[in-house]
Amino acid sequence: MAYLTLKNVNKIYPNGFHAVHNFNLEMDRGEFIVFVGPSGCGKSTTLRMIAGLEDISNGDFLIDGKRANEQGPRERGVAMVFQSYALYPQMTVYDNIAFGLELQGADEDYIDEKVRNTARILGLTEYLDRLPRALSGGQRQRVAIGRALIRKVGIFLMDEPLSNLDAKQRVTMRSEITQIHRETGATTIYVTHDQTEAMTMADRIVVMKDGYVQQVGTPRELYFDPVNVFVAGFIGEPPMNFVRDTVSGGKIKIGGTVIDLSKKLGSKISEYEGKEIVFGYRPEAIVLGEKENAYVLPADVELTEMLGDTTNVYIKMADVQSILKVDPHDTPEVDTGITFSIPYENVYLFDGKTEMVIK
């Protein structure tokens, strides 16, 4: 049985704003789930409803199969880490971590053992006597996590915990949080707007937009099998390239080059005659030069960005702009013409109206 279940959960704020629509999810014990989506999509609202900090307007939230809508945060057994670390500035790291247990009236030896154990997991042992102001942002965030972890809770919630850190610290903390999750096995829900965090940390990702769940899946499923244009464009960096055109004679044009979609869709393309279609391909899913079983396209190189391990090539095909990701050794010259191939299997087609993937 699922450990946490959300069944048709909705949030309508008192001002009438419908922030979350029919959210459905079943989570197993120990899973690491990431809610991802652009600002305002309802991630934090959903997390806060799970935490018990926000009422559920309608729908059910179950813990271990029992309805928990009416339970407070403590009864639910949740701990939460926020974007702002909210540490007590006048207390040492030790006291900050110990605080929750002290409030519960736990005995001193027990607290000491738990604090030292938590500090060891988080690599904070040598900082226990310091005040928060004498720590780096990453270390402060680890203290905030330690404070949440020390209480025995079933559900660990994190709302954009890395957004106050610089890019380098974020990368380090990402793997640290994954490591902490592996060691503690706590069922975790993590909110972020950063698809890289979602892809690198999650067992499963919930992609949200405008209060609606778009897709739930493993990072692999979302990358290779996006259900719609939004998910396809949200997951992956640089994002998937999209070209819209109306199907005529089973074909569309990409910057002047005629593309025969029956090569990809077979006879099914006839259903889309006269309709708009979205042709999608990932920057990295191309081959330079002419290949078989692929759409071959000429393009002009406008700009290149050498990143070290890859080069992003910004191209133009008449009025269509795209990005290709190539091996840095194959970086083309700016203002020259190139030819590239998109293997049929790497092409995604979406219905122009519903934006849903066509299989």
Which chain residues interact with ligand ATP by CB under 6 A? 13, 15, 17, 19, 37, 39-45, 193
> Nearer to ligand ATP by C-beta: 16 or 274?
16
Q: What is the DSSP letter of 72?
A: -
Q: Concatenate the DSSP letters of all residues of 159-209 into one string.
A: ESTTTTS-HHHHHHHHHHHHHHHHHH--EEEEEES-HHHHHHH-SEEEEEE
User: 113 φ, ψ to 5°?
Assistant: -65, -45
> Nearer to ligand ATP by C-beta: 233 or 343?
233
Beta bridge partners of 213: 208
Cis peptide before 161 (omega within 30 of 0): no
> Nearer to ligand ATP by C-beta: 191 or 277?
191
Q: How far is the CB of 40 from ligand ATP (least distance, A)?
A: 4
> Nearer to ligand ATP by C-beta: 163 or 218?
163
> Nearer to ligand ATP by C-beta: 207 or 243?
207
What angle, rounded to 10 degrees, do the helices at 137-149 and 93-103 form?
A: 20
What is the total residue count of the chain? 359
Q: Using alpha carbons, select from 304, 352, 297, 298 the residue that is nearest to residue 330.
A: 304
Q: Using alpha carbons, select from 259, 221, 187 the residue that is nearest to residue 31.
A: 187
Q: How far is the CB of 291 from ligand ATP (least distance, A)?
A: 41
> Nearer to ligand ATP by C-beta: 49 or 122?
49
Q: How far is the CB of 354 from ligand ATP (least distance, A)?
A: 23
Q: How far is the CB of 152 from ligand ATP (least distance, A)?
A: 28
Q: How far is the CB of 13 from ligand ATP (least distance, A)?
A: 3
Q: How far is the CB of 8 from ligand ATP (least distance, A)?
A: 18
Neighbours of 287 (CB within 10 A): 16
Beta bridge partners of 245: 277
> Nearer to ligand ATP by C-beta: 23 or 223?
23
Q: How far is the CB of 83 from ligand ATP (least distance, A)?
A: 9
Q: Using alpha carbons, select from 93, 89, 166, 81 the residue that is nearest to residue 128.
A: 93
